[in-house]
């Protein structure tokens, strides 16, 4: 089955540590996105990528980094510079140039302990 | 920046009734408006979209209405079922965007009771 897979589902991080969230898709989509969701809030865009080896900052990129070495993969690293990393992280993919129907993964819930 | 917002954060309806979820937007320069459904602990799922040159679009049990005069978007769900309980987000794509990035509103929690 085609889809988008995020792992792990739950992640605990100690303060000062970097952690990497995995996102893989087999939908052959060019575009991939990372969103952050806080309780009672909408989704805010962290980073997005339209093509391999290229990505752009979204609205809240500070403290995060990404890479896009393969079309299928778009990992997100939450660095120690991110002051409030506890949140629900969602990865999505979609066709370009128009992408009204983004396909989301099941999300990773990150908690700082 | 984000310009999509919602009138009400919560909505409770009885099973079998019709639901109407509203969304106000301030950016009139958007090409598409979209509705997503997010069940608890899961990622959002696409429901339906509407292009800015349309007023109405129908899907299976859902209808989206776009009123550009008052910058208002609504999602109507017919014969609401317990499985419709979720958070519903409206989103938009700015006109001319080739990046396909979505701007989301805060969401409305729909609860369906028997």
Residue B99 pLDDT: 65
Ramachandran assignment for B61, one of left (phi > 0), alpha (psi -120 to 50 degrees), beta (any other): left
Instruction: Return the closest-CA partner of residue B31 out of B98, B92, B111.
Output: B92
Quick one: how many helices (H) and strands (E) in chain A? Answer: 0, 11
Nearest CA in chain A to B89: A42
What's the pLDDT band for B6 if we cut at 50, 70, 90? Answer: very low
Among residues B69, B76, B106, the alpha carbon closest in space to that of B91 is found at: B106
Q: Residues B12-64: pLDDT tens digits?
A: 999 999 999 999 887 778 889 999 999 998 999 999 999 999 999 999 999 99
Determine the distance in angstroms separating the CA of B81 from the nearest CA of chain A, rounded to an integer: 23
Residues of B in contact with A90 (CB under 8 A): 43-44
- Substitution target from A10, A23, A38, A99 for chain B, most B beta carbons within 10 A: A99
User: Between chains, do A98 and B100 touch, taking CB under 8 Å as contact?
Assistant: yes
Are A90 and B43 an interchain contact pair (Cβ–Cβ within 8 Å)?
A: yes
In sequence order, which residues have a C-beta less than 8 Å from that of residue A12 and are 6 or more positions away? A110, A111, A112, A113
pLDDT tens readout for residues A44-81: 999 999 999 999 999 999 999 999 999 999 999 999 98
Could you give the maximum distance between any two Cα atoms of chain A, in Å? Answer: 40
Q: How far, in Å, CA of A79 to CA of B28, rounded? A: 37
Residue B30's CB is within 10 A of a number of other CB atoms, namely 23
Q: Are strands A108-112 and A87-94 parallel, antiparallel or unpaired?
A: antiparallel
Task: Give dist(CA B92, CA B81) in Å, integer.
Answer: 26
CB contact under 8 A, A100 and B2: no
Phi, psi of A24 (to 5 degrees): -130, 140
Q: Which residues on adjacent β-strands are paired with residue B51?
A: B32
């Amino acid at each position: 089955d085609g889809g988008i897979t995020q792992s792990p589902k739950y992640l605990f991080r100690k303060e000062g540590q970097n952690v990497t969230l995995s996102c893989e898709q087999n939908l052959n989509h060019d575009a991939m996105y990372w969103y952050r969701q806080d309780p009672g809030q909408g989704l805010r865009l962290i980073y997005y990528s339209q093509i391999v080896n290229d990505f752009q900052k979204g609205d809240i990129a500070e403290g995060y980094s990404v890479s896009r070495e393969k079309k299928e993969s778009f990992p997100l690293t939450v660095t120690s510079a991110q002051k409030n990393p506890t949140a629900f992280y969602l990865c999505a993919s979609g066709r370009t140039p128009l992408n009204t129907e983004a396909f989301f993964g099941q999300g990773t819930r990150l908690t700082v302990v | 920046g984000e310009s999509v917002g919602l009138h009400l954060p919560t909505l409770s309806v009885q099973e079998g009734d019709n639901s109407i979820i509203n969304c106000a937007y301030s950016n009139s320069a958007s090409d598409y408006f979209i509705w997503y459904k997010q069940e608890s602990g899961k990622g959002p799922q696409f429901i339906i979209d509407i292009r800015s040159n349309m007023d109405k679009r129908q899907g299976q049990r859902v209808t989206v209405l776009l009123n550009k005069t008052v910058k208002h978007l609504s999602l109507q769900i017919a014969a609401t079922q317990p499985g419709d309980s979720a958070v519903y987000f409206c989103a938009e794509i700015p006109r001319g965007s080739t990046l396909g990035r979505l701007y989301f509103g805060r969401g409305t929690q729909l609860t369906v009771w028997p």
